[in-house]
Amino acid sequence: MSSIAVAAPARNLSGVPLILAGILWGTGGLSGSVLATGGHLHPLSVATYRLLLGGLFAVLFLWLTGGLRAFPRTRAAAGRLLVAGGLLGFFQASYFLAVSLSSVSIATMTTIGGAPVFVAVVTAVRARRVPGAATLVSIGVALVGLVMLRWSPEGTGGDWRLVGGIVFALLAGAGFATLTLVMARQVDGLDPLRTTAFGCLIGGVLLLPVACRLGMAIPFRTDLLAVTLYLGLVPTALAYAAYFRGLVRAHPVLAALSALLEPLTAAVLSALLLRERLGVVGWCGAALLVGALAVSYWCPESH
């Protein structure tokens, strides 16, 4: 059997939007944590604000630039937007449930680490081809690096809570993997920005009833309002638009691996801005993540 090619050619810049998306998502973790702590909000309420504001910002941009004209009214376009919104809402809800049952580190490690594995398995089954050496090495090194970077077992609940957290984190990883695979196939008339705008809005609306019960009131403070706007605009609207743009040409496994930049960026920012000590093991894990992405990008495999 021939192996699956998962890396873009060395001179292909299609992976740049994926790198940008991963970095911007990393700033979302820090800003979301600030909003949850300062605003005394449940993580699911923060996720709802994130999706709703991200969708509104993207729709506003489309309206100002004429992007809402000739909007596709086909069944395929409507189905794609509903699927995107449902998967975004499912991913966010599952991830934050995992956080509440285990810890941020364990939930992030399991979710982001599991996504490329799910994508690689589904892609291999669908294509009836064995993943190539570069794919297996990239995923393996990335998982080891992620464990070294983010593993923090202290502060978790009892055994059943830890198991529940891992289960929901795996569901979140499967949801993100499904989103990646679905969005890799284009629908006529739906560019990445349109998909981002209405996908985020639909996902936010789906989470809204639960978030309202948990509480969504934000103290009227300039810093919290600025963080809320930043969370919706940069790590949501811009990041998902860049990610969906990168999916147009990049392989889904490469896209899922690029999401590993989220915990890497968050860890580095926390060390630099919050003076959280990363340690030698953590920095070694960060180096492994960068190495895994380098293998995926610069070591193309033959079909």
Burial of 73 (0-12, 13-18, 19+ CB in 10 A): exposed
Q: Which two tokens stand for residue 156?
A: 């978790």
The confidence score (pLDDT) of residue 105 equals 64
Burial of 70 (0-12, 13-18, 19+ CB in 10 A): exposed
Provide the whole-model pTM. Answer: 0.78
Q: How far apart are CA 118 and CA 139, in angstroms?
A: 11
Bridge partners of residue 130, in order along the sequence = 3
The confidence score (pLDDT) of residue 122 equals 81
Q: How far apart are CA 183 and CA 34, in angstroms?
A: 30
The confidence score (pLDDT) of residue 9 equals 41
Span between the terminal Cα atoms of the chain, in Å: 10
With a cut of 70, which residues of the chain have pLDDT below it?
1-14, 103-106, 127, 130-135, 146, 149-158, 267, 270-271, 274-279, 282-283, 286, 290, 292-303
The confidence score (pLDDT) of residue 113 equals 73
pLDDT in tens, 58-98: 999 999 988 888 888 899 999 999 999 999 999 988 888 88
Best CA proximity match to 229, nearest among 35, 20, 88: 35
- Residue 270 sits at the vertex; the CA angle it makes with 231 and 275, to the nearest 5 degrees, is 140
Q: How far is CA 128 from CA 36, 132, 301, 302, 303, in A?
A: 44, 12, 16, 15, 12
